[in-house]
């Protein structure tokens, strides 16, 4: 699992320069829903939003891990032997 996670991280880090948008592409325009695709993609893939979602995902993952670990400990403690 550690190897898979490391490979996945390396894959996304090698793709990072291609995913970065120019400064003009990240700025929202005034044309409404008829924006060029580069501006729309720049808004949707803003690194600030990705970072905030990453923090939320990290918190939820930690909470789920804690709950699963606690349930396993309680099952081991209360199992008939």
Break the chain into its structural domains and give their ranges.
2-78
pTM for the model? 0.45
At 54-78, the pLDDT tens digits run: 899 999 999 999 999 999 999 999 8
Per-residue pLDDT at 81:
66
List Cα–Cα distances, 55 to 35, 42, 51, 64, in angstroms: 29, 20, 6, 14
Phi, psi of 35 (to 5 degrees): -65, 150
């Amino acid at each position: 699992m550690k190897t898979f996670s490391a490979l996945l991280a390396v894959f996304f880090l090698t793709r990072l320069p291609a995913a970065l948008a120019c400064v003009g592409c990240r700025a929202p325009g005034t044309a409404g829903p008829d924006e060029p695709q580069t501006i729309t993609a720049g808004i949707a893939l803003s690194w600030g939003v990705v970072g905030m979602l990453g923090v939320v995902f990290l918190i939820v993952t930690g909470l789920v891990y804690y709950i699963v670990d606690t349930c396993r400990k309680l099952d081991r403690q209360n199992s008939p032997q």
